[in-house]
Structure 1
Amino acid sequence: MKTLILATAMAASLANAATPDVTRAEVAHLMNAVEKSQCKFNRNGSWHDATAARKHLAKKFDYMAKRDLVPSTEAFIERGASTSSTSGKPYQMQCGSGAAIASGQWLMAELKRYRGASR
């Protein structure tokens, strides 16, 4: 029994360690940027505020990271932050009175800005 518990704990630790630290930092930045943007977030046909968007994306990131599905920030954007895993519908962001754009497009642009500023 002790061996099973130890093996389970080690497997959980390894799964969480599989997401690179740089990816975790970049995703954390993206989550902060979403919340600070005050943009609206469309998920499955309903608009949500930026705080709800951040919470939803954080939940998806945690789910994916526990399953070793986030080898890079781009993978998170493509696999988790661009479309609903339930309906398959794309997520959208609308900032101010501008037109809604794909959340993946918005997040990739922010990631590019962040990486450029980090150099």
Structure 2
Amino acid sequence: MKVIYLILLILSISISKTNARNTNSEIEQLLIFVENPKCQFERNGDMYSGIEAIKHIQKKHHYYEDDIKTAEDFIEYSATKSKLSGKYYKIHCKEMPIIKSKSWLLEELKKIRIKRLTTKVKRFE
């Protein structure tokens, strides 16, 4: 019985580490996506480049680090809206309607996950 508990503990630790690696990878890919030179980041009515947006998002990410367990948490806490003014961040890209940053990033997160799953499936073919 103790052996079963030990195996379950080891498996849960392994799964937890894999999830943390996936989350960190997803966050890194989202930050790279924000850097897109064709888009500007609107925060509290002011426009920022992707590089400037990344600096702000990383600062918030560091502040909320203990609350962030998933890429969705990262988006919610770090890249959705101003905690002071309550105004939602918006993305302005050429040839695209203005969109809330949360929607924009969640859509990109879906693409990242689909790509990762597709890559895993191809390895097993």
Runs of 4+, deviation exceeding 4 Å = none
RCO greater where, 1 or 2, for CA within 8 Å and sep 6 or more? 1
1:33 maps to 33
| Shift in CA distance, 38/51, structure 1 to aligned 2, threshold 3 Å | farther
Q: Report whether the alignment pairs 1:53 with 2:61.
A: no
Runs of 5+ unmatched residues, structure 2: 1-16, 118-125
Can you list the C-alpha shifts for 1:25-77, whole angstroms capped at 9, x where unaligned? 11111000110353100001101111111111111112111xx1101111111
User: Considering only CA atoms, is the larger Rg found in Structure 1 or Structure 2?
Assistant: 2
Query: Given that residues 93 and 103 in structure 1 are in contact (C-alpha distance below 8 angstroms), is that contact kept between their aligned partners in structure 2?
Result: yes
Query: Given that residues 58 and 78 in structure 2 are in contact (C-alpha distance below 8 angstroms), is that contact kept between their aligned partners in structure 1?
Result: no
Query: Could you tell me the percent identity over the aligned residues?
Result: 36
CA distance in 1, matches of 2:81, 2:68: 15
Aligned pair count?
Answer: 100
2:8 maps to none
- Alpha-carbon RMSD: 1.8
Runs of 5+ unmatched residues, structure 1: 1-16
CA distance in 2, matches of 1:62, 1:79: 10
**Larger fraction in helix:** 2
CA distance in 1, matches of 2:108, 2:76: 14
CA distance in 1, matches of 2:23, 2:61: 11
Can you list the C-alpha shifts for 1:3-35, whole angstroms capped at 9, x where unaligned? xxxxxxxxxxxxxx9x92321111111000110
CA distance in 2, matches of 1:93, 1:53: 10
CA distance in 2, matches of 1:38, 1:70: 28
CA distance in 1, matches of 2:30, 2:94: 18
CA distance in 2, matches of 1:117, 1:97: 24
1:85 maps to 83
Query: Given that residues 38 and 49 in structure 1 are in contact (C-alpha distance below 8 angstroms), is that contact kept between their aligned partners in structure 2?
Result: no
Q: Report whether the alignment pairs 1:105 with 2:96.
A: no
CA distance in 2, matches of 1:32, 1:112: 15
